[in-house]
Amino acid sequence: MNSPELRFHNTMSGEEEVFTPLEEGRVKMYVCGITPYDECHVGHARCYVTFDFIRRALKRLGYHVTCVQNFTDIDDKIIQRAAQKGESPAALADRYIADYFDKMDQLNVLRADAYPRVTAHVPAVIAFIERLVAKKLAYAAGGDVFFSVRKFPHYGKLSKRDLDDLRAGARVEVDARKQDPLDFALWKAAKPGEPSWPSPWGAGRPGWHIECSVMSLAGLGGDTFDIHGGGQDLIFPHHENEIAQSEGATGKPFARYWIHNGFVTVDKEKMSKSLGNFFTLGDIFKKHDPRTVRFFLLSHHYKGPLEFNEDQLLQAQAQLGEIEEDIQRLESTLLNPLGVRAKEEKSLKRVLEGFDGSVDAALAENFNSPRVIAAVFALLGELKARVAKGKPVWAGGLEKGLDLVRTTLREVLGLPVLVDSPKDVSRATAEEEAIRFLVEQRQQARQAKNWGESDRLREELASRGVIVEDTPQGPRWWKKK
């Protein structure tokens, strides 16, 4: 069966568009990464689970995806936080990058193909700025270099903002060296005690916006790539500035499609530290399984605002638990010869054939994760109804249906099923038996409060690609995909 035509919302046009990649069958995607100066929070989870799902969806629809995601590992916030904590900016950035990977691994977010860091691309940043200066799109002033916004005629095309309106209403830093208050920094002159690099304009470091232009084009190759992603809060000024400096330097389109996930809200207000409604993933994971958090995020369409609260998480936990219970009960039925009949039903075949089509159609309709989840519930409901008393069921079809559900959960939604059915246990490989042994040993070490041995066994399991979740009912584990 051929994949349906993929359509999704392009922020640039403000409309859903048919996706046509630059190269048939291949997608080049860049996602703005974190500035590692603090712990990861639920806003990060929403962004990176969203683009992980989009990446999985593209793969399911037949595309080969190359994904690049940066780390802004030098920035004003990093420098200020490092000074407060009495450590170097590099050490602080490394620590919070490690936190990012730990939290995203728990959320089963696939690793990007590359994670470029600003500090490793400073020479390329300088060369890029020199191109802009040579084209008179940028100018040096007192050791800084600024981009001249009014010399890029299409500025505001992504955010749909008018320059004169921005000029009248924007709150910008007062800097007499700027030719226009809207001009933004490409290079920042060094301050005493700050990390810096030599440049034609003096010692300094890259501005925030320029780095993504350099790292995206370097990581994906060429002057144009397919998809640029990030949170809605990055549309202006960050992504607007990326477009101006990139297209100003190359004279070619930067990204052909722009995808932005919606805000996370708490009590209908955007989550922010200033409002005190800020939740780190570390705190959330103390109360909720990361799989529950991922399911909660995907049960809402990525474009809209996401209301975050305890009731929503508990509802997601119950729904995910229902899915796993249904799978376990149906697989138990397969082992009971009285529970199934050999009669083959054409109608069940049609249901199974239609399931994959329903999933693909949901993905092709602006990456509609709630519709994928609805398709899973619908198929499980159909299978349960056919197993009910007095209803004949085709055993081969039941097994195939469960395999379809498991595959969709694991590969499309990134939610490997944790329950072990008797069928699974009977087919356990030597590797699975070894993992079970290590999990049991770790649990015994925890009960004996031998925390050093417990940590060692967790690290050994992690090296095998295994995530362990401790619950009141005992440890649960699954392998990352």
Q: What is the pLDDT of residues 221-242, one digit of tens each?
A: 999 999 999 999 999 999 999 9
E strand or H helix at 187 = strand 184-189
Give the pLDDT band (50/70/90) at residue 343: low
Return the residue matching tokens 């899915």. Answer: 323
CATH number of the domain that residue 366 is part of: 1.20.120
**What's the pLDDT score for residue 316?**
95
Most confident residue range from 179-188, 411-420, 471-480: 179-188
Helix 290-298 and helix 310-334, axial crossing angle in degrees, nearest 10: 100
Residue 476 within any structural domain of the chain = yes
CA–CA separation, 193 vs 204, rounded Å?
11
**Distance, CA of 59 to CA of 113 (rounded, Å):** 14
Closest-CA residue to 260 (of 31, 5, 19): 31
Instruction: Determine the pLDDT at residue 430.
Output: 58
Given a contact cutoff of 8 angstroms between Cβ atoms, the answer to whether 302 and 369 are in contact is yes
Considering the domain architecture, whether residues 270 and 391 belong to the same structural domain is answered as no
CB 23 within 8 A of CB 67: no
Do 139 and 224 reside in the same domain of the chain?
yes
Q: Band the pLDDT of 429: cuts 50, 70, 90.
A: low
Total-model pTM? 0.85
Residue 273 belongs to what domain range? Answer: 21-281
Please, what sign has the CA dihedral across residues 407, 408, 411, 413?
negative
Contact yes or no for 27/257 (Cβ under 8 A):
no
96 and 167, same structural domain? yes
Q: Let me know if residue 368 belongs to a domain.
A: yes
State yes or no: pLDDT of 5 exceeds 80: yes
Cα Rg, the chain, nearest whole Å: 25
CA angle 146, 149, 152 (to 5 degrees): 125
What is the per-residue pLDDT across 237-271, written as a single tens digit (0 to 9) for each? Answer: 999 999 999 999 999 999 999 999 999 988 777 77
**135, 251: one domain:** yes
Q: Is the dihedral of CA 322, 325, 331, 333 positive or negative?
A: negative
Q: What is the pLDDT at residue 174?
A: 60
**Cα 435 from Cα 441, distance rounded (Å):** 10
Indicate if 174 and 69 belong to the same structural domain. Answer: yes
**Is residue 270 located within the same domain as residue 129?**
yes
The H or E element that residue 465 is part of is none
Instruction: Report the run of H or E that residue 204 belongs to, with start and end.
Output: strand 204-206
Q: Give every CB contact of residue 395 below 8 A, 6+ residues apart in sequence.
A: 334, 340, 341, 342
Q: Are residues 357 and 450 in the same domain?
A: no
Q: Is residue 304 part of a domain?
A: no
Answer with the one of 417, 444, 465 that is the final residue of a domain.
417
227 and 254 inside one domain: yes
Distance CA 265, CA 301 (A): 14
Question: Two tokens at 405?
Answer: 């559900």
412 with 434, same domain? no
Q: Does residue 259 sit in the same domain as residue 383?
A: no
Mean pLDDT across 40-61: 97
Structure confidence at residue 426 as a pLDDT band (50, 70, 90)? very low
CA distances from 319 to 167, 171, 315, 330, 384 (A): 49, 45, 6, 17, 16
pLDDT > 60? residue 26: yes
Question: Model confidence at 166, in pLDDT bands (50, 70, 90)?
Answer: confident
The whole-number average pLDDT for the span 286-299 is: 96
Let me know if residue 391 belongs to a domain.
Answer: yes
pLDDT at 475: 78
pLDDT confidence tier of residue 423, bands split at 50, 70 and 90: very low
User: Which one of 417, 450, 469 terminates a domain?
Assistant: 417
Structural domain includes residue 365: yes
**Is a pLDDT exceeding 70 seen at residue 170?**
no
Q: How far apart are CA 259 and CA 93, in angstroms?
A: 27
Among residues 417, 443, 461, which one ends one of the domains?
417
Q: What SS3 class is residue 418? A: coil
Using CA atoms, how far apart are residues 316 and 294, in angstroms rounded to an integer? 9
Least confident segment among 113-122, 215-224, 464-473:
464-473
Please tell me whether residues 253 and 356 are part of one structural domain: no
Is 8 inside a domain boundary? no
Q: Does residue 49 form part of some domain?
A: yes
Q: How many CB atoms lie within 10 A of CB 426?
A: 8
What CA–CA distance (Å, rounded) separates 460 from 454? 10
Q: 129 and 247 in one domain? A: yes
Could you identify the residue written with the tokens 């202006």?
A: 236
Task: Look at 48-62, 224-238, 414-428 and tell me which has the smallest mean pLDDT.
Answer: 414-428
Q: What is the mean pLDDT of the chain?
A: 89
As for how many domains the chain has, the answer is: 3
Residue 101 lies in a domain: yes
